[in-house]
């Protein structure tokens, strides 16, 4: 569905730092086990193939090289020791490392792909790259952490697909890199347009580990014999995009407060997530599947810890700095008439309890909690309206559509949450078709 125009490697420009090594922290180690992240940015930008080849490709290469000067680890590798080795994993960039970039074209229907109607997830996998195979070195494997694919829809638009290993950084890190690259593209490589918010902070010493959590998690991770290979298996699933408007969110909040006036932490996030969770649970009744009414349902979301540690970590910290919050209750509680209210209360209380509990973060209780979750009965929320990829402006006009491709590859349901392109107060949520039918 996408034919190759050019395959190349893009490295930081000459004169960049010769080497950068970052040890993994306990926030990073967990992600050695999980799938790679894949996202696509679609831009409606009618351009011919000759123009694309002659102007867009050279410009993107040059600006990407400049962006990598500031984000060196993305051009490097995760260095993973062999399981019988006593050394510790790290991110490492050395001169000569680079990012694999694919330029392609397709005759697929751009307008169909960027719509909100149900679409098959397999269609999107033509526009995201696969990471290169890891290479063996003495005692370690060297695994690339980023690959990029730029696809031309002739006379309709351009997509940019990103595949990154989560171990290199969380959403805050990757979004800053994408927006930095976009700014450098738009302004012809002029680095003065990179504000401080797009310059990474690399000092890993700010992550305190008083309980030796990093080594404990690494020892646990080694038991799973995680593969560093990027296995790309498109799921045969359909997904639509659901827009929750600012007015809808206000109605949700007013409804909850009319029922529970003293309830705290009634936010746009909690009411939206509660709505999705209860819709998911209630939609199962239409599948005919036999459900244990007293079975436990799980809700999980990630929280950025940069501002929650003492002292706070700079917002531009490069790497992972997130933990997971888990709420749980019986299936029958969510499926009943008060399910929405119960879900809001549970999610809000969980966030309220954990957001100021630094010791819970430092002692690894969040990591242990993962082991108690039944993935087959879980809903996980990824992404955040704070990460505004719709502001990623390459000079081609506003982003038309953002798609998180890899969120439905696990046994449970994972849904991304992002700011809508049309309104700051609206939220955009790609959901499985049996849930989106409840609109």
List residues with catalytic annotation. Answer: 166, 393
Q: What is the C-alpha to C-alpha distance for residues 57 and 59, in angstroms, rounded to an integer? A: 5
Cα R_g (the chain), whole angstroms:
22
Tokens at 14, concatenated: 């000459």
Burial class (CB in 10 A: 0-12, 13-18, 19+), 415: buried
DSSP secondary structure letter of residue 35: P
Straight-line distance from the first to the last Cα atom of the chain, in angstroms, rounded to the nearest whole number: 32
Q: What is the C-alpha to C-alpha distance for residues 151 and 148, in angstroms, rounded to an integer? A: 10
CA geometry: angle at 57 spanning 54 and 60, to 5°?
A: 135
Q: What is the C-alpha to C-alpha distance for residues 167 and 25, in angstroms, rounded to an integer? A: 10
Return left, alpha or beta for 317; rule: phi > 0 is left, psi -120 to 50 is alpha, else beta. beta
Pairing of strands 99-106, 146-153: parallel
DSSP H or E stretch at residue 404: strand 401-404
């Amino acid at each position: 569905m996408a034919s190759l125009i050019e395959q190349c490697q893009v490295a930081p420009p000459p004169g960049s730092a010769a080497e950068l090594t970052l040890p993994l922290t306990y926030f990073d180690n967990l992600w050695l086990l999980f799938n790679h992240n894949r996202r696509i940015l679609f831009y409606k930008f009618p351009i011919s193939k000759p123009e694309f080849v002659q102007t867009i490709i050279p410009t993107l290469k040059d600006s990407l090289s400049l962006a990598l000067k500031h984000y060196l680890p993305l051009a490097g590798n995760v260095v993973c020791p062999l399981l019988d080795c006593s050394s510790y994993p790290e991110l490492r960039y050395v001169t000569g490392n680079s990012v694999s970039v694919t330029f392609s074209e397709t005759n697929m229907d751009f307008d169909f792909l960027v719509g909100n109607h149900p679409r098959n997830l397999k269609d999107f996998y033509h526009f995201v790259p696969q990471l290169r195979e890891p290479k063996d070195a003495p005692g370690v494997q060297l695994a690339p952490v980023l690959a990029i694919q730029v696809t031309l829809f002739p006379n309709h638009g351009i997509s940019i697909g990103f595949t990154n290993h989560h171990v290199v950084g969380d959403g805050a890190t990757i979004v800053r890199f994408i927006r930095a690259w976009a700014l450098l593209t738009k302004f012809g490589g002029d680095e003065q347009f990179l504000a401080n918010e797009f310059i990474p902070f690399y000092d890993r010493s700010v992550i305190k580990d008083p309980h030796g959590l990093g080594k404990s998690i690494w020892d646990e991770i080694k038991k799973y014999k995680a593969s560093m290979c990027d296995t790309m298996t498109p799921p045969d699933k359909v997904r639509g995009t659901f827009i929750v408007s600012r007015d809808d969110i206000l109605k949700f909040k007013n409804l909850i407060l009319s029922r529970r006036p003293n309830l705290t932490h009634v936010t746009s996030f909690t009411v939206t997530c509660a709505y999705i969770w209860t819709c998911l649970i209630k939609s199962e009744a239409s599948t005919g599947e036999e459900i244990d009414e007293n079975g436990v349902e799980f809700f999980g979301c990630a929280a950025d810890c940069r501002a929650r540690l003492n002292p706070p970590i700079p917002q531009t910290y490069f790497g992972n700095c997130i933990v997971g919050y888990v709420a749980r209750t019986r299936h029958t509680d969510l499926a009943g008439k008060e399910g929405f209210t119960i879900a809001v209360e549970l999610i809000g209380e969980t966030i309220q309890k954990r957001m100021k509990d630094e010791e819970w973060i430092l002692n690894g209780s969040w990591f242990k909690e993962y082991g108690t979750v039944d993935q087959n009965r879980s809903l996980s929320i990824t992404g955040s309206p704070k990460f505004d990829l719709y502001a990623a402006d390459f000079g081609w006009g506003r982003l038309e559509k953002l798609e998180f491709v890899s969120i439905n590859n696990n046994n449970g349901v994972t849904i991304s949450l992002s700011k809508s392109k049309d309104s700051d107060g609206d939220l955009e949520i790609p959901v499985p078709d049996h849930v989106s039918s409840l609109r």
